[in-house]
């Protein structure tokens, strides 16, 4: 069996419920995707986590794949999505950790990382003003701001979540930023 056609035979076996074929297919996928994921993550542990998630998605969806010729593009897309999810989780964990350190003090005894109580209070009040300004936005603008800034999603994903087009999501985001700018200038000027 040639290396290029091996996945087609294993895919047919896996789709029919053959556990051995599914295991062999997972091995082929692991070997092919490992270098791709590692080049992006530059971290062996993260690469293994991403590949485990990728293989789990493959196992859950292998029966729904209709065109065996689309298998590798499908697998690369799943892997790339899992990489993005892993980086997003890492950023979220860093943000939570940073927030925890700001709220509960640092190991070196510094309370806020800003150096003095006045700077800390100004920073805290600024964050409260921004949060209040975001809460006062129109619902559709508030959703776009949260998805774009806090979840760091691309406009295509924002569009699918808000049931609109990417262009409309960009327009809403631009208008939301303009509205935020006006509100913050009025309250903080």
102: CB partners within 8 A, 6+ apart: 112, 113
The number of C-alpha atoms within 13 Å of 110 and in the hemisphere containing its C-beta is 10
97: CB partners within 8 A, 6+ apart: none
126: CB partners within 8 A, 6+ apart: 188
Measured CA to CA, the distance from residue 96 to residue 173 in angstroms comes to 25
**Ordered per-residue pLDDT tens for the chain, 189 residues:** 555 667 777 877 777 777 888 889 899 999 999 999 999 988 899 999 999 999 999 988 888 888 888 889 999 999 999 999 998 888 877 777 677 666 655 444 444 455 678 877 777 777 778 878 888 888 888 888 888 877 788 888 888 888 889 899 899 988 988 888 888 887 765
Measured CA to CA, the distance from residue 29 to residue 35 in angstroms comes to 11
- The model's pTM is 0.51
Q: Are 153 and 144 in contact (CB under 8 A)?
A: no
């Amino acid at each position: 069996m040639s290396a290029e056609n091996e996945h087609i035979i294993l895919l047919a076996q896996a789709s029919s419920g053959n556990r051995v074929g599914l295991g062999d297919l997972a091995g082929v996928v692991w070997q092919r995707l490992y270098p791709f994921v590692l080049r992006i993550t530059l971290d062996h542990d993260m690469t293994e986590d991403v590949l485990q998630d990728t293989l789990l998605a493959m196992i859950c969806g292998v029966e729904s794949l209709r065109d065996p010729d689309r298998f590798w593009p499908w697998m690369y897309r799943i892997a790339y999505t899992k990489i993005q999810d892993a980086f997003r989780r890492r950023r979220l964990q860093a943000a939570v950790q940073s927030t925890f350190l700001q709220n509960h003090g640092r190991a070196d005894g510094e309370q806020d990382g800003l150096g003095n109580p006045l700077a800390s209070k100004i920073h805290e009040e600024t964050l409260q003003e921004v949060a209040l300004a975001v809460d006062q936005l129109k619902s559709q603008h508030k959703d776009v701001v949260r998805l774009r800034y806090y979840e760091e999603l691309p406009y295509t994903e924002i569009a699918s979540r808000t049931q609109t087009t990417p262009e409309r999501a960009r327009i809403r985001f631009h208008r939301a930023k303009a509205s935020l700018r006006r509100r913050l200038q009025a309250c903080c000027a």
